[in-house]
Amino acid sequence: MGLSGKTILVTGGTGSFGKKFVKKSLEYDIKKIIIFSRDELKQFEMAQEFKESKIRFFIGDVRDKERLFRAFDGVDIVIHAAAMKQVPACEYNPFEAVKTNIQGAQNVIETAIDREVKRVIALSTDKACSPVNLYGATKLASDKLFVAANSYVGDKETRFSVVRYGNVVGSRGSVVPFFKKIRPTGVLPITDTRMTRFWITLDQGVQFVLDSLQRMNGGEIFVPKIPSMKVVDLAKAMAPECKIDIVGIRPGEKLHEAMITENDARNTVEFESYYVIQPEFPWWSHVYENHVKRLPEGFKYTSDTNTHWLSIEDLRKLIKDI
């Protein structure tokens, strides 16, 4: 679905993704873009930054279904980015994470169907793939809800899909701004020298969502093909003069990221720049049945088994723009 003439709503729209998505969307001839979030200060600051008449700000929480119903009036496309994302906060406040990430997802789904929104894309995370912490578990549940939502849209045109990718480099909470902040101390903490991560920039993440919006039939989980890097190499690229302090893996943290499990791979098809995890539901129309590029038995998409890697020099060039 194209953006021209459409009204778009972004939940959690004042975050790093939301701001970049709004900036990119304004390049199209959209009718309106609505920022739905619960922090009035962030909305005020965003309004000062953009000063654009096509942007509307709507205070609300995805936990509040009635407020979502009001906000979704006349909306064509919803990008669901709102979530509790900080792993320690989710562990310490588990049911709060459940209410936002799971109940909030179901509220978005039901409201989108009732308001006859045409397309909904939910942002997922690598942590939803074989989760080891509560945040990942709630996002896995959210992914399942959005895929299954296509089962009960009836004769309406509403369709739901999911986009899954790893940590966005340079976004709030990512390791790059953290390393920049503590670089003057002369010491960078690394949890484990073996640790690997996928690399995706904010621009790439937003573009992948826009591309997936065009491709979606409803029910897919879209996974981009992106390079891997060693966290210790990133530290060397950013601050070669700093000493590296090995501090050990934190609770709820993985040594390597995963985005497609071996079980998921059996239902996954491969394209040139992305994968599609297909739903296991009778209603799935097998739109990719003529696409013969299936994944080999035992395939998994993890940051340590990736075929595309960034060197220290590659990383040094990339972080100049962050």
Rounded Cα gap, residues 289 and 91, in angstroms: 41
Task: For residue 11, give both structure tokens.
Answer: 């939940």
Angle between helices 231-238 and 175-182 in degrees, nearest 10: 40
- Three-state secondary structure call for residue 275: strand
Angle between helices 40-50 and 16-25 in degrees, nearest 10: 30
- Three-state secondary structure call for residue 179: helix
Nearest Cα neighbor of 10 from 58, 50, 52, 46 is 58
- Looking only at the bridges linking them, the beta strands covering 187-190 and 243-246 are parallel
Contact assessment for residue 88 and residue 136, using Cβ atoms and an 8 Å cutoff: no
Among candidate residues 20, 127, 230, 254, the one labeled active-site is 127
Stated length of the chain: 322
Rounded Cα gap, residues 17 and 272, in angstroms: 24
Rounded Cα gap, residues 316 and 132, in angstroms: 31
Distance between start and end Cα atoms, the chain: 30
Told to judge if 127 belongs to the known catalytic residues of this protein, a careful annotator would answer yes
Angle between helices 134-148 and 104-114 in degrees, nearest 10: 20
Q: Tell me the catalytic residues.
A: 127
